[in-house]
Amino acid sequence: MHQKSWVGAAVALLSVAGIFGCAHGAVAASRQRIVSLTPSVTEILFALGAGDEVVGVSQYSDFPPEATRLPRVGSFLTPNLEAIIALHPTLVIGIGLSSETRQIRALREMGCSILTIRDDSVAEIKESIREVGRKTDRADGARRLLEKLNVQISEVRSRVSKLPRVSVLMLVGHEPLIAVGPGTFLDDLLRLCNADNIADSLGQQWPKLSIEYIIAMKPQVILDGQMGSDPAAPARFWQKYPTIPAVQNRRVYGYSSDRVLHAGPRIGTSLEMLAALIHPETFPASTTARGETR
Amino acid sequence: MTTPSANAVRHNPIAGAYLTTSRMVSVLMLLTLLLLATMLVAAKFGSVHISLVSAFADASSSDHAIFFAARLPRLIMAVIVGAVLAAVGAALQALVRNPLAEGGILGISGGGALGAIVALVFLSGIGASETTVVPLVAFGAALLSTVAVYRLAEVEGQLEPFTLLLVGVIFNAFWGAAIMVVNSVVNFYYAHTILFWLMGSLEAPTWHEVVLVAVLGFGGFVALMFYARDMNLLSLGDEAAAELGVDVDFLRRLIFVATSVMVGAVVSVSGIIAFVGLIVPHMLRITFGSDHRLLIPASLIGGAAFMVIADLIARVAIAPAEIPVGAITALFGGPFFVYMLRREGGKPLGL
């Protein structure tokens, strides 16, 4: 019977399934086929000049514009296994969390080459850029990128180091109120801006805050990721709490979260932008940085 | 509830006179053909277009890789999960003598899911292998939940089916609440994982998991089949069944342990997939009668076909993104169940 032979063939081939899902690196030593699982990895690859070796990107990879024309392989936490295999990748790059998904575990079991980078601090992001540079034969590009990043960081540090510390709340979401907590690169960036993150004592990377806690902590500046998309809603939201110094002094700023949250090569400019919002007295003419936030 | 014995006698003569071997074989053959047809369709379609001919003919093609490494394990997992959930539903409905019984409503799936989530969130740091520890804790929790429900539903040593269902519903809600508490203390990555468990998903199973669920599921199925005739007698009521030689207490325990292990295994890899255990046995009971010697294997095959179709929809509807398959089964299952219930004039569907 037709069905029987089909099942028989399937069973016979099961034993060898799983070893050919990914093209092997050695086959294409000169030219890789890279799949990026997060927007930040996509940005790193393009910044290193490896963009022409990228064959697939995650759903929300929107920078640089060239990346948006590439095939999508699902989102950060739900990559699409079939779509990835279809691209014959020689290398799949994700960040820590995305690599824990069942899909990536399956790819790894198939013998796929998977690079997992980390991005929970500025130091980790730098190391990740170096690692991606090594893995894609672009160590020089990585070095140049890091030099530029270091210049941006030391520039900001030298300008803010003498200034009084400012207590800051940085939010990434409103319902619930999710803040930037310790152990994230954004917390690192705030520290580099000479700011005290009011969520630092909470011990969670992305703590959910109650509004009562925020009122009690009296942040001087609130950086609200949702204002980037809809300025009206958060403004209405904060009006209700006029005792918060940041609200009193009109120091609730929006930032465009999809851009700032990418832990890639643009964290230097994110740092400059945050510093300008937190210490406007030192960066009076930073119109470019400000312009991006509104 | 109407008196179960009156219904049972009418639909379900003790000797099972309606059930001849040839009827059984023809029904099961028909369902098997249906299952094979759905499997062929599901093998052909997915988030990526592939040619089945080149998948089989050319081992170096990406069609081959996609089919064997991604689509086939998932398809087989859908078959096993659907089969197990539907067979478990049929058995639990016999046990509780209530058409609403299934792994989800009796709190078994919820207990298993909470166990899996707690293991994943709090034990992952100790380097324990996710594919071993998580399923083990899921069975353990499913079994504990079942034992607790069973004990609490006993009144003076007698199991009261209606109380059992109520206790199960309470446990189901309680486990859901406990999962929400865990959800609010973990970081966003785990919050996503928890959603995966709550809504059910068949994404990227490993062969290791496929084999694990197949072995435990099939073991439980054999145990249920062995006592299918006793389950028929149970529908006459505890006393009548006991008079006819059924060790009612033993049968109950056996069904509970077998279904807990089966549901625990499924939940540990696919999360809570609701309604399959409810709808499939009902559809088959209405169509082919309520003799458990036929109903349980028919549910096994029918459940597999149902799940294959549901997962196909989950995979292709918004490709390359996916809908959790539990959402599909519930979206189709809920209205369908209400329709079946109304069609029967609100009576407990032929039980």
At position A47, the amino acid (one-letter code) is: A
Q: Find out whether B43 and B67 touch, Cβ atoms under 8 Å.
A: yes
DSSP letter string over B72-111? HHHHHHHHHHHHHHHHHHHHHHHHHT-TT--TTTTTHHHH
Backbone phi, psi, residue A170, to 5°:
-115, 120
Q: Does B72 touch chain A (CB under 8 A)?
A: yes
Q: Find out whether A80 and A58 touch, Cβ atoms under 8 Å.
A: no
Q: What is the mean pLDDT of residues A48-52?
A: 93
Q: Checking DSSP bridges between strand B154-155 and strand B158-159, what pairing results, if any?
A: antiparallel
A170: left (phi over 0), alpha (psi -120 to 50) or beta: beta
For the record, the structure tokens of A35 come out as 């799949």
At what angle are helices A139-160 and A185-192 packed, to 10 degrees? 50
* A25, B80, B196, B221, B223 from B254: Cα distances, Å: 53, 21, 30, 12, 8
At position B290, the amino acid (one-letter code) is: S
Nearest to B46 by CA among B341, B329, B321, B338: B321
Q: Does A109 touch chain B (CB under 8 A)?
A: yes
Least confident span in A271-275, B7-11, B118-122, B156-160 = B7-11
Nearest CA in chain B to A104: B204
Q: Does A208 touch chain B (CB under 8 A)?
A: yes
B-contacting residues in A 212-251 (Cβ below 8 Å): none
Nearest CA in chain B to A109: B206
For residue A113, the distance in angstroms to the closest alpha carbon of chain B comes to 15
| pLDDT band, very low/low/confident/very high, at B124 (cuts 50, 70, 90) | low
For residue B47, the distance in angstroms to the closest alpha carbon of chain A comes to 7
Q: Does B15 touch chain A (CB under 8 A)?
A: no
* A274, B278, B320 from B70: Cα distances, Å: 43, 29, 14
For the stretch B202-236, what's the b/e string if a residue is b when 16 or more beta carbons lie within 10 angstroms of its beta carbon? Answer: bbbbbbebbebbbebbbebbebbbebbbbbbbbbb
- Residues whose CB is less than 8 angstroms from the CB of residue A16 and which lie 6 or more positions away in sequence, other chains included: B59
**Within 10 Å of residue B193's Cβ, how many Cβ atoms?**
23
User: Nearest 10 degrees: CA dihedral of B180, B186, B190, B191?
Assistant: 40
Q: Which of B50, B69, B322 sits opposite A18 (nearest CB)?
A: B69
Give the three-class secondary structure for A74.
Answer: strand
Q: Find out whether B211 and B204 touch, Cβ atoms under 8 Å.
A: no
For residue B60, the distance in angstroms to the closest alpha carbon of chain A comes to 7
- pLDDT top residue among A90 and B341: A90
| pLDDT band, very low/low/confident/very high, at B350 (cuts 50, 70, 90) | very low
- pLDDT top residue among B220 and A78: B220
Between chains, do B187 and A205 touch, taking CB under 8 Å as contact? yes
Q: What is the mean pLDDT of residues A23-27?
A: 53
pLDDT at A34 over 60: yes
A294 exposure class (CB count in 10 Å sphere: 0-12, 13-18, 19+): exposed
Q: Does A121 touch chain B (CB under 8 A)?
A: no
Q: Any bridge partners for residue A195, and if so which?
A: A166
Between chains, do B321 and A206 touch, taking CB under 8 Å as contact? no
Between chains, do A72 and B203 touch, taking CB under 8 Å as contact? no
- pLDDT top residue among B98 and B93: B93
pLDDT at A291: 39
Q: Which of A88, A106, A204 sits opposite B187 (nearest CB)?
A: A204
Q: Does B285 touch chain A (CB under 8 A)?
A: no
Chain B contacts of A13, Cβ < 8 Å?
56, 68
For residue A82, the distance in angstroms to the closest alpha carbon of chain B comes to 6
| pLDDT band, very low/low/confident/very high, at A13 (cuts 50, 70, 90) | very low
Q: Which of B36, B65, B320 sits opposite A85 (nearest CB)?
A: B65
pLDDT at B130: 62
Choose from A102, A103, A118, A120 for mutation: most chain B CBs within 10 A.
Answer: A102
Nearest to B87 by CA among B297, B252, B335: B297
At position B317, the amino acid (one-letter code) is: A
Q: Does B53 touch chain A (CB under 8 A)?
A: no
Give me the residue label for tokens 């003598």. Answer: B97
Interface contacts A/B by beta carbons within 8 Å: 97
**Within 10 Å of residue B86's Cβ, how many Cβ atoms?**
31
| pLDDT band, very low/low/confident/very high, at A19 (cuts 50, 70, 90) | very low
Backbone phi, psi, residue A198, to 5°:
-70, -10
Least confident span in A225-239, B7-21, B132-146 = B7-21
Q: Which of B36, B188, B206 sits opposite A105 (nearest CB)?
A: B206
Backbone phi, psi, residue A158, to 5°:
-65, -30
- Residues whose CB is less than 8 angstroms from the CB of residue A188 and which lie 6 or more positions away in sequence, other chains included: A121, A122, A123
Q: Does A80 touch chain B (CB under 8 A)?
A: yes
Give the three-class secondary structure for A214.
Answer: helix
pLDDT at B128 over 60: no
ipTM for the predicted complex comes to 0.72
Nearest to A95 by CA among A81, A80, A109, A114: A114
Q: Checking DSSP bridges between strand A91-95 and strand A208-209, what pairing results, if any?
A: unpaired
> Tell me: the pLDDT tens digits for A150-168?
999 999 999 998 899 999 9
Chain A contacts of B199, Cβ < 8 Å?
none
Alpha carbon distance B333, B320 (integer Å):
24
Q: Any bridge partners for residue A79, and if so which?
A: A74
pLDDT at A190 over 90: yes
Q: Does A269 touch chain B (CB under 8 A)?
A: no
Chain A contacts of B56, Cβ < 8 Å?
9, 13
Chain B contacts of A1, Cβ < 8 Å?
none
Q: Which of B48, B68, B321 sits opposite A75 (nearest CB)?
A: B321
Nearest CA in chain A to B190: A97
Q: Does B200 touch chain A (CB under 8 A)?
A: no
Q: Find out whether A152 and A271 touch, Cβ atoms under 8 Å.
A: yes
pLDDT at A282 over 90: no
**Within 10 Å of residue A146's Cβ, how many Cβ atoms?**
18
Between chains, do B48 and A83 touch, taking CB under 8 Å as contact? yes
Between chains, do A106 and B69 touch, taking CB under 8 Å as contact? yes
Q: Find out whether A98 and A77 touch, Cβ atoms under 8 Å.
A: yes
